[in-house]
Amino acid sequence: MRKIQMVDLKGQYDQIKETVNASIQEVLDNTAYINGPQVHKFQKDLEQYLGVKHVIPCANGTDALQIAMMGLGLQPGDEVITADFTFAATVEVIALLQLTPVLVDVDADTFNISVDAIKKAITPKTKAIVPVHLFGQVANMEEILAVAKEHNLYVIEDNAQAIGADYTFANGTKKKAGVMGHVASTSFFPSKNLGAYGDGGAIFTNDDDLAHALRGIVNHGMYVRYHHDVVGVNSRLDSLQAAVLNAKLPLLDTYNAARLATANKYSAALANHAKVVTPVVTGTTDSHVFHQYTLRILDADRDALMQHLLDKGIPCAIYYPIPLHSQKAYADARYNEEDFPITNQLVKEVISLPMHTELDDEQIDFITGSILEFLNK
Ligand SMILES: *Cc1c(COP(=O)(O)O)cnc(C)c1O
């Protein structure tokens, strides 16, 4: 059996080596390392793939979130509601901009932000909601958009983990993750579903005025060369990363299908065990692109299971081990433990299995067999 990796970047590269190398070679030959034609091509192709009017490439997914919030003109003291159970980048940029993060609980079945919790957290100071499409599953956008509309709030989708996922509204309309809110961010960190070979990110919006504002903000607040109208940042997707992404974007649907197939095999082997909750897909199967495959372990020692898997050479990880409201940087007297029952429970139960595009049946069987062996002991 091949060695099992949490993310197999080498195995994937070996399959696409020629296209990637040729694409990188073009940049080396034209030396347009910054804002080269590869960046422009990637922007256009991604706009078309997503069905969105504007993609603004930038340096990483954290910058993308920050720039989206700057573009919306959020002001210090504005409250921004986001999920307690997510990667810290989301709350970090809210705090950096001196906005007030309002962390709320998630739903146990999807791990995504709870609409009831959002409703309870809204105050006259609330300006935006940031749903994170966690682990690759689109949050409950139908209801989130309705709540936002009712209270006149911006919706900023953190789409770092769900690029390529589709969301089907009750009326049958289908939209890609990241094109439903006012603005969205994504990350091309190497292990993401569409990963570069370094850092990268992008912002999406259908709003022409916001897109114009964002294009200036990523470029030092310049709309006309050497005229700085607003305080901006320097955040660019470099041409070498765009070259890698140009080679991989045409494969994104194939890659996401491979992740779904692996997820289905994991779930088929584990679904009927009383001590395991396999991932719940709430929408159509294309609403989840399995950035992570995350189990909940009930009535068993999750940490001992993790050690058992590591001892057998099976990498696995806890995403995320500590609720954001309990992190030193984001703790706040405003928070009550009773408001986070689900996140507090999930951090003790979750375990994420290897998930990438190169897992074979022998590896999958070994992983699920090793989990059952531990649970049936
Ligand atoms: C990866 C990630 C980010 C940040 O992306 P970077 O490119 O690493 O800055 C933000 N939010 C979520 C949910 C992520 O998973």
Average pLDDT over residues 76-85: 97
Going 210 to 215 to 220 to 221, the CA torsion angle's sign is negative
Model confidence over 181-222: pLDDT tens digits? 999 999 999 999 999 999 999 999 999 999 999 999 999 999
219 pocket-lining for ligand 1 (C-beta < 6 Å): no
Supply the DSSP symbol for 139: P
Q: Ligand 1 atom closest to Cα of 200? A: 7
Q: Are 240 and 24 in contact (CB under 8 A)?
A: yes
Residues 239-261, mean pLDDT to the nearest whole number? 98
Mind listing the domains of the chain with CATH numbers? 9-104+112-250 (3.40.640.10), 252-375 (3.90.1150.10)
Q: Nearest to residue 295, comparing CAs of 359, 363, 371?
A: 371
Nearest to 65 by CA among 107, 100, 42, 97: 97
Mean pLDDT value of segment 305-322: 97
192 is known as an active-site residue: yes
Sign of CA dihedral 197, 199, 205, 207: negative
> Which residue is closest in CA terms to ligand 1's atom 6?
61
How far does the centroid of ligand 1 lie from the alpha carbon of residue 60, in Å?
8
Mean pLDDT of 316-342: 96
Q: Which atom of ligand 1 is nearest to the CA of 291?
A: 15
The pLDDT confidence band at residue 9, using thresholds 50, 70 and 90, is very high
- Bridge partners of 168, per DSSP, are 174
**ω into residue 320 within 30 of 0, thus cis?**
yes
Q: Is the pLDDT of residue 368 over 90?
A: yes
pTM of the model: 0.97
**What is the DSSP-derived secondary structure letter of residue 292?**
S
- Please name the helix (run of DSSP H) or strand (run of DSSP E) that holds residue 242, with its range, or none: helix 239-248
